[in-house]
Structure formats: C-alpha cells, structure tokens
Amino acid sequence: MAARNVPSQETMRSALALACRAPSVHNSQPWKWKLAERTVHLYLDRSRLLGVLDPCGRELVISCGAALNHARIAFAAEGWQTTVHRLPNPAQPDHLASLEFARLDEVDEHVVTLAAAAAARRCDRRPFLTDPVPRAVLVPLREVARLEGCTLTFAVGDRERRELELAIEHAGSEQRQRPEYREELAAWAGRHASPEGVPVRSIPAEHLRGMPERDFALVAEGELPVPILDDGAVLAVLSTRGDSYESWLAAGEALSAVLLTATEHGLATCPLSQISEGAASRNQVREEILGGTGFPQLAIRIGWPVTHEFPGPLTPRRPVSDVVEPLFPQD
C-alpha cells in the first residue's frame, strides 16, 4: 500500500493531545481544533473569555498561539512537516490557523526532545535557585523568540529588574482592589479536581515575600510546598512590534518556543501576564525595559528549579474529545 500523504485521524488526535499541553491563561484552554481529511484548523473558543482580565481576548489568542507552536512540534515529532496559514480568513478572525501536512523523510532528534519537553513542562510558581543562569543558556531563548518574529528582553540590570518587579507589583495591587477581578479569579483558580483552571496543588502554599507572581492566594489556599529560598529567577519580557491578532498569535508561538527550549535545558519557567493587563504597567514596561518601542505581551520567570519535590504537579487538561471536532460534522 502506498504511504499516506496526510497524517491519519489517529495521528492528528494524538498530536493535538500534546498540543493541548500548551500553557493558557488561567488554564482556560481556549482552543477548538477542527479536523478535515487533509487539514487541521485552529479556532479561538470565545466562550472561555476572561471578561475582566482580558476583555479583548488578547491572552486567549496568545494561549492559542502557544498551542499552535506545540502542534507544529507534535506533528513534526510524528514525522509530519506543517505549513501553517495564519488567520486564513479575514472575515473570520477567530479562525486562527490552518495546517497542511507533508511527510518528512526523517524526524529531527531535536524536535523529539522538544515534544518530550512539551509533555513534561508545567509552570513552576516556587522560588528558583540562586545559581546563575548562564548567558549561553539565555541566548537560545532569545533566538527562538526572534525566529517567531518576537523579542525576548532580559531584565538583567538592577534598574530594569526593579522596574519590572514594580510594574508587576503595581498591576497586581490595582487588580486586587477590583471585586470583579477577584470574582473572576475565584472562578478559575483554586480547583481541586477540575480539568480546567489553576489547581490548588499548583499554587504555592505560602505567600512568597517580594517574589513577582500573580496573587492566587487572594482567592485560594495553595497546596504546593514552598522551600525557603531567595528567588534567583531571571525575568524577561516578551514583546511584539504590533498589537494585532497576528502579533498575539506570534507572541503565543514565541512563548511556547521559549518555554520548551528552557525546559529542554532543565530550566523551570512561569509566564506572568499582569504587566500588559493595565495601561499604566504596560507603558511603564515599554518605557523602562523596552526603550519605548514595541508592545509588552507578558513577562516570564526563568530559573533553576528546586530539586525538593521537583517537578511539581502536571496541570490537568480538558479531554481531547471536548476540543477536537470534525470540520464538517458529517465527516
């Protein structure tokens, strides 16, 4: 029998299961995958919108971009090169991407490593070791972001670091004062046995003094044991040239590439998006960290994880059957 020139439906579903390991804001998993015989289509699921935190859906699109990058890696690891058409239909902006396939002659070992990183990665909200993260490890992270058309800027100087921490802190304290923010956070964080949202076992059991983080303790008591450590995280800002759907999708693809490359190097990571959820913090980061250019999309904490109880729990996902459906229902 001739070799297939498109992945089987079974391969599509297994690659998409890995794609769904992508990070998403509040673990909202705002994606819908539609399968045709020869193509796969990614849609934004607007029913997952966080109306207070993210009224225009920017972080939802970033989350879908991360899933798209995961999907490209997952298919490549199964021997399929993808050609991605981003935002293929201007009349349907929530149709984020169409994927076409070509058989690869051989599977690149590096892609297999990245696919393993996608399966193993999880956000780590604990302090990181103070051991320095060498430049040789940070440079590839900047490079993979650049390849996705985005910029990763490390806040390495004392002044930049302080400014970024202040921006995160200011954004957090403004959000804390809004009852509607707390209500929305409570609806998504502090879950025990739910396939979506941020579970208690991924939230630190103790509030971490001075560490930049989203304050989930506002609404939920965390269960993740936290070692007493000075946090040695490197902080970085992921930014884009524009601030359109295209830019947000690219930011998500870059976020995924950065997190998986970091995971591959044994680093722990956590995205922090408060800096772009309020105009004042976003401007502050643009002026103080990015030299007045570009649009900050989110910050990322990066560092060496504590070995104590590493790696922490994997976060649950919705069943693949909830997020994958035929493009044409009669298929």
Ligand X SMILES: Cc1cc2nc3c(=O)[nH]c(=O)nc-3n(C[C@H](O)[C@H](O)[C@H](O)COP(=O)(O)O)c2cc1C
Residues lying near ligand X in the complex (CB under 6 A) are found at: 23-27, 59, 62-63, 66, 122-123, 125, 198, 214, 270-274, 298, 315
Instruction: Count other Cβ atoms within 10 Å, centred on residue 266.
Output: 10
Whole-number minimum distance, CB 248 to ligand X, in Å?
Answer: 9
CA-CA distance, 264 to 259, in Å (whole number)? 9
Instruction: Count other Cβ atoms within 10 Å, centred on residue 295.
Output: 22
Whole-number minimum distance, CB 147 to ligand X, in Å?
Answer: 19
Which of 26, 95 has the CB closer to ligand X?
Answer: 26
Which of 7, 121 has the CB closer to ligand X?
Answer: 121
The closest residue (CB) to ligand X is 23
Which of 63, 98 has the CB closer to ligand X?
Answer: 63
Which of 190, 271 has the CB closer to ligand X?
Answer: 271
Q: What one-character DSSP code corresponds to residue 327?
A: S
Which of 21, 286 has the CB closer to ligand X?
Answer: 21
Q: Which residue has the tokens 């956590």?
A: 270
State the distance between the two ends of the chain, measured CA to CA, in whole angstroms.
23
Judge whether 30 and 64 are in contact, CB under 8 Å.
yes
Which of 35, 203 has the CB closer to ligand X?
Answer: 203
Task: Measure Cα distances from 229 to 129, 208, 263, 322 in Å.
Answer: 7, 9, 21, 40
CA-CA distance, 240 to 254, in Å (whole number)? 10
Q: Residue 251: helix, strand or coil by DSSP?
A: helix
CA-CA distance, 86 to 211, in Å (whole number)? 37
Whole-number minimum distance, CB 158 to ligand X, in Å?
Answer: 23
Q: Which residue has the tokens 């490209």?
A: 72
User: Nearest CA to 262 among 316, 216, 309, 300?
Assistant: 300
CA-CA distance, 102 to 124, in Å (whole number)? 36
Whole-number minimum distance, CB 135 to ligand X, in Å?
Answer: 26
CA-CA distance, 306 to 205, in Å (whole number)? 15
Whole-number minimum distance, CB 211 to ligand X, in Å?
Answer: 11
Cα torsion 256, 260, 261, 262: sign = positive
Contacts of 236 (CB under 8 A, 6+ apart): 141, 152, 153, 154, 155, 258, 299, 300, 302
Which of 23, 296 has the CB closer to ligand X?
Answer: 23
Which of 7, 271 has the CB closer to ligand X?
Answer: 271
Whole-number minimum distance, CB 23 to ligand X, in Å?
Answer: 3
Whole-number minimum distance, CB 122 to ligand X, in Å?
Answer: 4
Whole-number minimum distance, CB 124 to ligand X, in Å?
Answer: 8
